[in-house]
Structure 1
Amino acid sequence: MKTLKIITLATLLLFASNAMQAQVSINVNLGVQPSWGPVGYSSVNYYYIPDVQAYYDVRATQFIYLNGGTWIRSGHLPYQYRNYDLNRGYKVVLNDYHGTRPYSQYKYHKQKYYKGYGKPQKSIGYRSDNNGNKGNDNRGNNGNKGHDNKGGDKGHGNKGHGKD
């Protein structure tokens, strides 16, 4: 009888340790930064992408954007931004927000980080193009139709962060 109790206890401990180990493995793999994310940030939950006025949820690997007055979560950007180059566009790291609805601060983000804001950052997935030139690929025009990204700050009061 005593041997049966020891075997049962050992089996339960074995199952419990395997379950705990599996849980740790799952948590380690969640929240991997996207290849187009800016270099230097390892624990980010959300990005705001000014050129497309959308958020990216790192943990859920989903974009969050307005569609007809409703916030939509999707694995892809809206159709009108299908050619937007995430590697070249500016990404605002929202390391001070820890909720589930970063768009609750959308009016503030939209005003502070307008379309065309900032210079592209070096992306995690920085790569060579087909011609052997180092850099990010250049699909589309970064969502800045009609913007002249030349000529300095343009008087926006964001020295060093304005259009270049």
Structure 2
Amino acid sequence: MKTANYIWIGILMLTLQTTYAQKAQLPQTGNGETILIKDPVTNCSYRYYYYPNLFGYYDAQKNEYILKIDNQWQRLKEIPNGYMGYSLNNKFNVLITDYDDEDVTQFIKVHKKKYPYNFHQKLKQVSSNE
């Protein structure tokens, strides 16, 4: 009986965690703009997040995902259903601390190599300063 209770508690916690993780937002000003914090070393704003499991980015300033669809980079408000098997359970991202201009996609090859994603094992936590 204890085991069944633990399983139900675990499922409930996982459900709540994924629900709140999806709704988490960055701080915003009164007019709806996202407040971006600057890296003291590079003097770049913390604007982009790289998603190794999507081979794409999230732009925190514009609240858009940048994904490659049909060989074209596109900016989307939401990740399309079923995009590369994406799910909330593999929502790992890396904060890009050394770039805050408009075209982060030019560094996709560097980010793929620096932050590889192994689809068969959990991704090891890495820091963008390594």
TM over 0.5: yes
Aligned structure 1 segments of 4 or more residues deviating by more than 2 angstroms: 78-83
**Offset, 1:89:** 2.6
* Distance in 1, Cα, partners of 2:105 & 2:86: 23
* Distance in 1, Cα, partners of 2:56 & 2:69: 10
**Offset, 1:53:** 0.9
Match of 1:76 in 2: 78
Q: How many residues align?
A: 89
* Distance in 2, Cα, partners of 1:32 & 1:67: 29
Q: Cα–Cα, structure 1 residues 45 and 149, in superposed 2: closer, same or farther, change >3 Å?
A: closer
Cα pair 2:54 2:86 within 8 Å, conserved: no
What TM-score do the two structures reach when normalised by structure 1? 0.46
Greater CA radius of gyration, 1 or 2? 1
**Offset, 1:79:** 2.8
Aligned pairs for 1:121-136 within 5 A: none
Unaligned stretches of 5+ residues in structure 2: 1-28, 37-44
1:109 aligned residue (102, 108, 111) = 111
3-state SS of 1:90 partner: coil
**Offset, 1:78:** 3.1
Match of 1:9 in 2: none
Match of 1:85 in 2: 88
Q: Cα–Cα, structure 1 residues 79 and 47, in superposed 2: closer, same or farther, change >3 Å?
A: same
Give me the identity figure in percent: 25
3-state SS of 1:64 partner: strand
Q: Cα–Cα, structure 1 residues 30 and 84, in superposed 2: closer, same or farther, change >3 Å?
A: same
Cα pair 2:52 2:116 within 8 Å, conserved: yes
